[in-house]
Amino acid sequence: MCFYGGTYAHAIGVIDISQVPLTLEKLNYNAPTAGGYRDGDLAEARFIGPFQLFFDPNGNCYIADMNNHCIRKITTEDKVETVVGIPGIAGFKDGGKEEALFNQPTGITVAKDGTVYVGDRGNNRVRKLAIE
């Protein structure tokens, strides 16, 4: 399987690369409707501009949810949860899950040691997340 951020579709896409040839009919978005914010089961979750995603060594998928101004995670059990940031509120503030603020996070990567780095576009910074 191949996952990608459908930024303007406000969804996470999945391509089954075992089925060749790949066609648009085989693309599967988790939420083919308008964007929004909702954690929970992947099939019901909502995003606004998921820009980039990356997998950690444990198989969790981290997402820079650009226009929700937060970092989200899809667990290996297909559950979506907000890791850090306040959905819909842009800003710059360090802090915990319900305190930190981002302004259009667009880049995300996970280092080999599990450290998550975020490209915070609106604040012109690269930020390091301390995930507990």
Provide Rg for the chain, Cα atoms.
Answer: 14
Local confidence band at 27 (pLDDT 50, 70, 90 cut-offs): very low
Question: What pLDDT shows up at residue 32?
Answer: 53
Residue 28: pLDDT over 60:
no
Q: What angle do CA 30, 9, 66 make, to 5 degrees?
A: 95
pLDDT number for residue 77: 92
HSE (CB half, 13 Å, CA atoms) of 112? 0
Q: Coil, helix or strand for 82?
A: strand
Average pLDDT, the chain: 83
What are residue 101's DSSP bridge partners? 93
69 close to 104: Cβ distance less than 8 angstroms = yes
Nearest Cα to 129, choosing from 75, 73, 80? 73
pLDDT tens figures, 41-82: 988 888 888 888 888 888 888 999 999 999 999 899 989 999
Residue 67: its pLDDT value, please?
A: 93
pLDDT of residue 23 exceeding 60: no
Q: What are the chain's domains?
A: 2-129 (2.120.10.30)
Q: According to the model, what pLDDT value does residue 70 have?
A: 95
Sheet holding 61-65, edge to edge: 40-41, 79-84, 70-74, 61-65, 50-55
